[in-house]
Amino acid sequence: MAQTKAQRSAAAKKAAATRKRNAAEQSGQSAKRSARGTSSDISKAAGSAAQTAKRAAQAVAKRADAEATRLRGTKRR
């Protein structure tokens, strides 16, 4: 049985609404994935910065210890 023009129009509107809904869902999922990635990147950057600060502090401590040792060594002479 052939569809009437009104039936075709209704089916087209329904299909368009479905496509729009599916596209919105995919966009939302994409945004979630992007947000997770950004959060992960921020966490990694924070960890990296903390590690860099720790290493810098250790380097300063080693330098201060070396300087103190050098100064103690000159007093003995």
Instruction: Kindly report, residue by residue over 1-46, the tens digit of the pLDDT.
Output: 788 999 999 999 999 999 999 999 888 888 888 888 887 888 888 8
CA 14/CA 12 separation, integer angstroms: 5
pLDDT attached to residue 76: 53
At residue 32, the 3 state secondary structure works out as: helix
Q: Which two tokens stand for residue 13?
A: 């509107």
Q: Are 3 and 11 in contact (CB under 8 A)?
A: yes
Phi, psi of 44 (to 5 degrees): -65, -40
Instruction: Kindly report, residue by residue over 51-76, the tens digit of the pLDDT.
Output: 899 999 989 889 888 888 888 876 55
Q: What is the pTM for the complete model shown?
A: 0.46
Q: Which two tokens stand for residue 77?
A: 């002479």
